[in-house]
Amino acid sequence: MAFNGSPRKKKWNTVTLLNNALKGAESAGAKTELLQLYDLNYSGCISCFSCKKIDRKEDGVCAVQDDLTAVLNRVKEADALIIGSPVYYGTETAATRAFLERLCFPYLKYAKNMQSLFPKRINTAMIYTMGVTEEMLKQTGFSQVFATTRMMLGMHFGACELLLSKDTLQYSDYGKFESEMFDKEAKYKRHAEVFPKDCKRAFELGVRMASGEVPEPEQIPGFEY
């Protein structure tokens, strides 16, 4: 199952990478599904702690009833999860963050070993797209945000791979929007030359997700953490 946390649902950077990842998974024999989070009406965690009640009837169930309820039920049957999000103000989009809260918190057991209540171990991945350059990324705290989300998914579900697509296009036409801080010609050039390579990396990620063979981070070309 893949989840697009970008409001640009039909095309653009994040959904393009997700579609390439799913093509890779399909090439390895997987049945795939892409869900558009911005098509759903839901909230983040409401801190009701129903999933922590001692007398609860079932583990790993969020009590909130909305469009995410059926989706979260289907996650239990998935063999891999891929979540894509643009980076807005240094973190995932609001829709993605709300989804992550609802996805993960019910499986967190308040015990000394913090053992996950998810019934099996599956591969996971986060695909991030961002307008910042490589140098800007090094100067910000974004990397810690990515690492924290990776740790959270790894703890609850299984090995989590990150794919970062940097210095992406914000606009198709930089002449129509504020863009003085950007070198638009360099942006177009990078999109033509580098983004296809990111798409190839996404395809290869999908193959790994479907095959169940997720290598250690240092073995993945371009992995930065």
CATH number at residue 144: 3.40.50.360
Residue 220, pLDDT score:
43
What CA–CA distance (Å, rounded) separates 168 from 100? 24
DSSP state of 128: E
Whether 224 is in a domain gets the answer no
Which domain does 79 fall in, by range? 2-219
Whether 60 is in a domain gets the answer yes
- pTM here is 0.92
Residue 223, pLDDT score:
42
Residue 107, pLDDT score:
96
Residue 182, pLDDT score:
87
181: helix, coil or strand?
coil
Going by C-alpha positions, the residue among 63, 110, 83, 79 that lies closest to residue 6 is 83
Residue 114: partners with Cβ closer than 8 Å, 6 or more residues away = 108, 155
Residue 11, pLDDT score:
85
Report the share of the chain in percent with pLDDT over 90: 76
Average pLDDT over residues 51-63: 94
28: helix, coil or strand?
coil
Comparing 8-12, 66-70, 164-168, 196-200, which segment has the lowest mean pLDDT?
8-12
Binning pLDDT at 50, 70 and 90, where does residue 213 land? low
Whether 64 is in a domain gets the answer yes
Average pLDDT value over all residues in the chain: 91
| Number of domains into which the chain is organized | 1
Q: Please indicate whether residue 164 or residue 223 has the higher confidence score (pLDDT).
A: 164
Q: Please indicate whether residue 98 or residue 219 has the higher confidence score (pLDDT).
A: 98
